[in-house]
């Protein structure tokens, strides 16, 4: 009998992708949308901020009743909390049967068998073998028109605040042939838009025989797949934004006019203390060059406020950078100290001061985002339709700039249609099919 698997995913898009691959690794299970009645619950976790890890423990506590009702229920913790805390997860929450890190989830079937024998199963190795090689095909992938494809993992940059180099390990790129094969497979299942993923995706350097391909070359090759209509990539580091990738934004039609390029701070002093290895002026100049290649580019970023030793003057430099760049989308976070990172040793900013700064920064970013969205009204753009909307006859899709767009009319999922934008709502655009 097919067993039921419930996976709850936290954190970044790479985790969304990994959750799909974990479901594929577990033969004999079908994925369900609720933990009630499940035979296995997997939490695919994020460790980027302290709150993220605490959320996992409170979620686990909620499964006590389910486990009491069904002692055969197996509970697993995967992802970066599993990697960072290892056995501690089981000590802190004895309900947990399986702990598996992001580099070893292809071993889930063996871990599940061990748990079925009533033993605790733990694997947080960084194994030699490639998990993607073990999980070659994507048999369960029931595809909508968009998909994530991880091409690169891990990070060697060691920004002073960040756990990724510790939880995801050293930077590794998947070979070109495997990425192409997976993309072809996805497209044959109806995918029309692929987002290439990596913690530092623009540092991609995939092997192809004796050669090494950068991200721009990979994108150009993917663009040759006829039925693949749109390509995106995330997340990028400013220092890896090489000339050919900038050029690709101008001349590769399938590469969408949206770029997520985190800067974290606009203060050179703080950027240095963060070990970002570039200045605010260098970042602004880089943005200018990318916009020369693609003037309508919508820019997105990440910001950390209240990094240790940040003064009001440093914060004002971040606000000035935001004014200078003008973001169409952004994510901002209050600094969260992560054990084992260099910044964890430093004097923290008063939490109330940090909260106040975050509020001011978010107000500015929200204004910019709203202005970028409102500026779409009156324009004619292509929309890739993804699913029916909430109202009868309504369909929802995405613009090239990643704005959600809804229309009323006859249009199929997976179709790209021309739409005139007529209204800008709180979180989406409305338009009419042309």
Q: Which residues bind ligand SF4 (CB under 6 A)?
A: 155, 157-159, 162, 164-165, 199-200, 237
C-beta closer to ligand SAM: residue 130 or 302: 302
> What is the dihedral sign for C-alpha 244, 184, 21, 412?
positive
Q: Is 302 in the site for ligand SAM (CB under 6 A)?
A: yes
Q: Is 282 in the site for ligand SAM (CB under 6 A)?
A: no
Nearest distance from C-beta of residue 291 to ligand SAM, angstroms = 19
Residue 12 interacts with which of ligand SF4, ligand SAM, none, CB < 5 to 8 Å by class: ligand SAM
Residue written as token pair 């939880």:
167
Residue 120 interacts with which of ligand SAM, ligand SF4, none, CB < 5 to 8 Å by class: none
3-state secondary structure of 203: helix
Which tokens go with 24? 């594929």
Near ligand SAM by CB under 6 A, which window of 22-30, 77-85, 161-169, 239-247? 161-169
Structural contact between residues 422 and 430, judged by C-beta atoms closer than 8 angstroms:
yes
Nearest distance from C-beta of residue 160 to ligand SF4, angstroms = 9
3-state secondary structure of 239: helix
Nearest distance from C-beta of residue 302 to ligand SAM, angstroms = 3
Give Cα separations from 400 to 194, 292, 308, 421 (angstroms): 12, 18, 37, 13
C-beta closer to ligand SF4: residue 207 or 275: 275
Q: Is 381 in the site for ligand SAM (CB under 6 A)?
A: no
C-beta closer to ligand SF4: residue 60 or 245: 245
Residue 304 interacts with which of ligand SF4, ligand SAM, none, CB < 5 to 8 Å by class: ligand SAM
Among 101, 214, 257, 262, binds ligand SAM (CB under 6 A): 262
C-beta closer to ligand SAM: residue 147 or 162: 162
Q: Is 233 in the site for ligand SAM (CB under 6 A)?
A: no
Cβ neighbours for 165, distance < 8 A, ≥ 6 positions apart: 154, 155, 156, 157, 158
Give Cα separations from 128 to 42, 134, 292, 384, 417 (angstroms): 24, 12, 43, 39, 45
Nearest distance from C-beta of residue 62 to ligand SF4, angstroms = 30
Cβ neighbours for 159, distance < 8 A, ≥ 6 positions apart: 264, 274, 275, 276
Q: What are phi and psi of 167, to 5 degrees?
A: -85, -35
Residues 225-264 as b/e (b if ≥16 CB within 10 A, e otherwise) read: beebbbbbbbbbbbbbbeeebbebbeebebbbbbbbbbbb
C-beta closer to ligand SAM: residue 300 or 417: 300
Nearest distance from C-beta of residue 217 to ligand SF4, angstroms = 22
C-beta closer to ligand SF4: residue 236 or 424: 236
Q: Is 107 in the site for ligand SAM (CB under 6 A)?
A: no
CA distance 119 to 114: 6
Nearest distance from C-beta of residue 333 to ligand SAM, angstroms = 4
* Binding residues vs ligand SAM (CB under 6 A): 12, 48-49, 161-162, 164, 199-200, 235, 237, 262, 264, 302, 304, 333, 335-336, 338
């Amino acid at each position: 009998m097919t067993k039921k698997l419930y996976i709850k995913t936290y954190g970044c898009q790479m985790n969304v992708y990994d959750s799909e691959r974990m479901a594929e690794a577990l033969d004999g299970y079908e994925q369900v949308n609720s933990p009630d009645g499940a035979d296995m619950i997997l939490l695919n976790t994020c460790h980027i901020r302290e709150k993220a890890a605490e959320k996992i423990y409170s979620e686990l506590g909620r499964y006590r009743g389910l486990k009491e009702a069904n002692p055969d229920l197996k509970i697993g913790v995967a992802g970066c909390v599993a990697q960072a805390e290892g056995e501690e997860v089981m000590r802190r929450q004895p309900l947990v049967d399986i702990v598996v890190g992001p580099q070893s989830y292809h071993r889930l079937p063996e871990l599940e068998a061990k748990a079925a024998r009533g033993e605790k199963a733990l694997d947080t190795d960084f194994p030699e073998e490639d998990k993607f090689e073990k999980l070659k095909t994507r048999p369960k992938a029931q595809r909508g028109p968009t998909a994530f494809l991880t091409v690169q993992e891990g990070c060697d940059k060691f920004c002073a605040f960040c756990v990724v180099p510790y939880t995801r390990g050293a930077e590794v790129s998947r070979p070109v042939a495997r990425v192409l094969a997976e993309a072809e497979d996805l497209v044959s299942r109806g995918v029309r838009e692929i987002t290439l993923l990596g913690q530092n995706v623009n540092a991609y350097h995939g092997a192809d025989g004796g050669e090494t391909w950068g991200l721009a070359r990979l994108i150009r090759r993917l663009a040759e797949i006829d039925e693949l209509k749109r390509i995106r990539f995330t997340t990028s580091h400013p220092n890896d934004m090489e000339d050919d990738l900038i050029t690709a934004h101008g001349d590769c039609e399938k590469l969408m006019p949206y770029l997520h390029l985190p800067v974290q701070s606009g203060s050179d002093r703080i950027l240095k203390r963060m070990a970002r290895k570039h200045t605010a002026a260098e970042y602004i100049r880089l943005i200018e060059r990318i916009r020369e290649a693609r003037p309508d580019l919508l820019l997105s970023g990440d910001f950390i406020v209240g990094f240790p030793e940040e003064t009001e003057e440093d914060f004002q430099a971040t606000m000035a950078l935001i004014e200078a760049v003008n973001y169409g989308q952004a994510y901002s976070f209050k600094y969260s100290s992560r054990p084992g990172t260099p910044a964890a040793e430093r004097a923290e900013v008063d939490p109330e001061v940090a909260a106040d700064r975050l509020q001011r920064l978010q107000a500015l970013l929200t204004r910019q985002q709203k202005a970028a969205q409102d500026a779409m009204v009156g324009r004619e753009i292509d929309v890739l339709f993804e699913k029916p909307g909430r109202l009868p006859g309504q369909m929802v899709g995405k613009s090239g700039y990643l704005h959600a767009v809804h229309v009323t009319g006859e249009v199929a999922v997976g179709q790209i249609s021309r739409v005139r934008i007529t209204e800008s709502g709180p979180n989406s655009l409305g338009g009419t099919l042309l």
